Amino acid sequence: AWRAAGQPAWTGPERRGQAYAGTDRQCRGALLAVLRDAPGPLPRARVLAAWRADAEQAERALASLIADRLVRLDCAGDLTL
C-alpha cells in the first residue's frame, strides 16, 4: 500500500528513542567503566558503588555483565574484565 501510494514521507508523530539516563544500559556502562579504569581485579562492593542510584539495578546489571561474559568473577570473588 505504501509503495502503491508513491512512497509518501511519514506524516505521523516523530518517534523518540529511549532515554539513556537511569537505564540499565547506563548502569552497565558505569560498572564497566570502573573495571576498565582499574589496574586489576576489584571487590564486588567497589564495582557496585559506581552506581548509587539504585542498588538492585546495580546488582541486576552486574549479573547481566557476568552472564554476558563481559565481566569475570575470579576465584577470590573479585571482578575483572
Q: How far is CA 8 from CA 3, 13, 14, 15, 16, in A?
A: 8, 15, 15, 17, 21
Number of structural domains in the chain: 1
CA 57 remoteness from chain centre: 10
pLDDT, one tens digit for every residue, the chain (81 residues): 888 989 999 888 888 888 888 999 999 999 999 999 999 999 999 999 999 999 999 999 999 999 999 999 999 999 999
Q: Is residue 14 situated within a structural domain?
A: no
How many CA atoms are closer than 13 Å to the CA of 29, on its beta-carbon side? 7
What is the residue range of 44's domain?
Answer: 24-80
pLDDT at 52: 94
CATH number of the CATH domain containing 38 = 1.10.10
